[in-house]
């Protein structure tokens, strides 16, 4: 009997989402045009305990708007961790500013406070933190460094809805934060994102920039004061997001359950490391990641190929930003400065973490991993 392929990521969708989208498709027009967007923004802000939320087409646009509102431009430097998706850094380049790459912690895989402090210069205009795979960096240390230097924090919480640091929600640190609702994320709208902030002036600037540079007072008259962007979420996406937000505890519980299944099966296996559990972090484990000891002689691409041969999808640990051809011109000497990010990227993969995973599928992934490592160990003897 042919085995089905196990997906690496994906959503959990119910009839509730279908009903919310159907209602918006029928009702969000004319006098009620766009009502689901405003409702979603209000509900999401309330969930986090924030004053403002702006729903946008994707997290990249949220990051772009946040940097624009922070006044980042040519000649400025923005510090960003090496280990993250390119979208965390791309808007820096959009604005003709310079990304500066900092190393990550060995256990959380998030921005290292020590490396951050060493990268700050008089040109540093902002610090981007990334809550990688549902974890957080040491926010106490990072906030202290940022405040001492007078530099705003932009928290990229794309992967960390529901995560908490010392009881405080991810996305509520610093001047502004962003979330992703891509189809791979714990909470999705298919594609989409959200910007959140408590700063009234910053939110006012974001609101104008995401609507072609129009002031709210001139909305009906099509008066554009400056060239802005079309960064607005659709009603159908927002309606889907509202239903997902109603189910957020259920979605987070499933993510934690998936990680627990892996942890129960793999915690005693020599030579591998899973996502860290820290006493002060409520990790939501967006993706289950394993780091394989170098003694096995298996690189990231080797591991991915061997799982692929068994019809199991995986993802690589994010390659260092400074190693990407598109950003290499900003990364002179980064490999020596950021050894942790480079090392982990060479021998780590994300295991299947889709919300529809069953315990039997996790069993199969773990059996496959054991087999791969056993064969690798035998080959090195």
What residues are labeled active site? Answer: 185
Nearest to 92 by CA among 58, 128, 141, 55: 128
Instruction: Judge contact between 89 and 64, C-beta under 8 A.
Output: no
Phi, psi dihedral angles at 50 (to 5 degrees)? -105, 160
- Dihedral, 52, 43, 24, 15 alpha carbons, nearest 10: 140
Instruction: Judge contact between 36 and 66, C-beta under 8 A.
Output: no
Residue partners of 60: CB distance under 8 A and separation at least 6: 87, 90, 91, 193
Distance CA 121, CA 240 (A): 43
Residue labelled with tokens 């990790």: 283
DSSP secondary structure string, 327-341?
TGGG-TTHHHH-HHH
Task: Show the tokens assigned to 148.
Answer: 């001492």
Detail the DSSP E strand segments found in the chain. Answer: 52-56, 77-81, 98-102, 124-130, 153-156, 164-165, 168-169, 176-180, 193-197, 272-273, 281-282, 288-292, 315-316, 348-351
Detail the DSSP E strand segments found in 82-192. Answer: 98-102, 124-130, 153-156, 164-165, 168-169, 176-180
Instruction: Judge contact between 163 and 281, C-beta under 8 A.
Output: yes
Distance CA 281, CA 169 (A): 10
Distance CA 97, CA 150 (A): 18
Please compute, for residue 171, the number of CA atoms within 13 A of its CA located in the half-sphere on the CB side: 30
Residue labelled with tokens 């607005």: 232
């Amino acid at each position: 009997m042919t085995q089905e392929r196990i997906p690496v990521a994906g959503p959990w969708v119910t009839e509730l989402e279908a009903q919310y989208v159907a209602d918006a498709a029928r009702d969000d027009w004319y006098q009620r045009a766009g009502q689901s967007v405003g409702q979603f923004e209000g509900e999401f802000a309330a969930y986090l305990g924030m004053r403002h939320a702006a729903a946008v087409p994707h997290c990249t646009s949220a990051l772009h708007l946040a940097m624009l509102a922070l006044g980042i431009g040519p000649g400025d430097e923005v510090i960003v961790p090496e280990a993250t998706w390119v979208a965390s850094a791309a808007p820096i380049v959009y604005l003709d500013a310079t990304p500066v790459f900092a190393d990550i912690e060995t256990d959380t895989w998030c921005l290292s406070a020590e490396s951050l402090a060493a990268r700050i210069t008089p040109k540093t205009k902002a610090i981007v933190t990334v809550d990688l795979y549902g974890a957080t960096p040491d926010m106490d240390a990072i906030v202290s460094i940022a405040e001492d230097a007078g530099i705003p924090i932009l928290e990229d919480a794309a992967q960390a809805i529901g995560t908490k640091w010392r009881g405080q929600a991810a996305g509520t640190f610093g001047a502004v934060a962003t979330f992703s609702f891509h189809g791979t994320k714990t909470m999705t709208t298919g594609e989409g994102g959200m910007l959140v902030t408590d700063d009234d002036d910053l939110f006012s600037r974001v609101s104008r920039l995401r609507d072609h540079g129009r002031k709210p007072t001139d909305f009906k008259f099509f008066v554009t004061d400056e060239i802005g962007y079309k960064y607005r979420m659709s009603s159908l996406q927002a309606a889907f997001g509202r239903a997902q937000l109603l189910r957020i505890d259920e979605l987070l519980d499933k993510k934690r359950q998936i990680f627990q299944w892996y942890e129960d099966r793999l915690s005693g296996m020599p030579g591998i490391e899973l996502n860290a559990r820290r006493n002060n972090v409520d990790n939501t484990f967006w993706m289950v990641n394993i780091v394989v000891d170098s003694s096995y002689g298996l690189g990231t691409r080797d591991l991915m190929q061997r799982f692929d041969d068994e019809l199991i999808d995986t993802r690589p640990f994010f390659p260092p930003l400074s190693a990407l051809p598109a950003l290499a011109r900003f990364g002179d000497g980064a490999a020596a400065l950021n050894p942790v990010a480079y090392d982990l990227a060479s021998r780590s993969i994300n295991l299947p973490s889709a919300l529809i995973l069953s315990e039997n599928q996790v069993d199969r992934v773990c059996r496959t991993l054991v087999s791969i490592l056993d064969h690798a160990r035998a080959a090195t003897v």
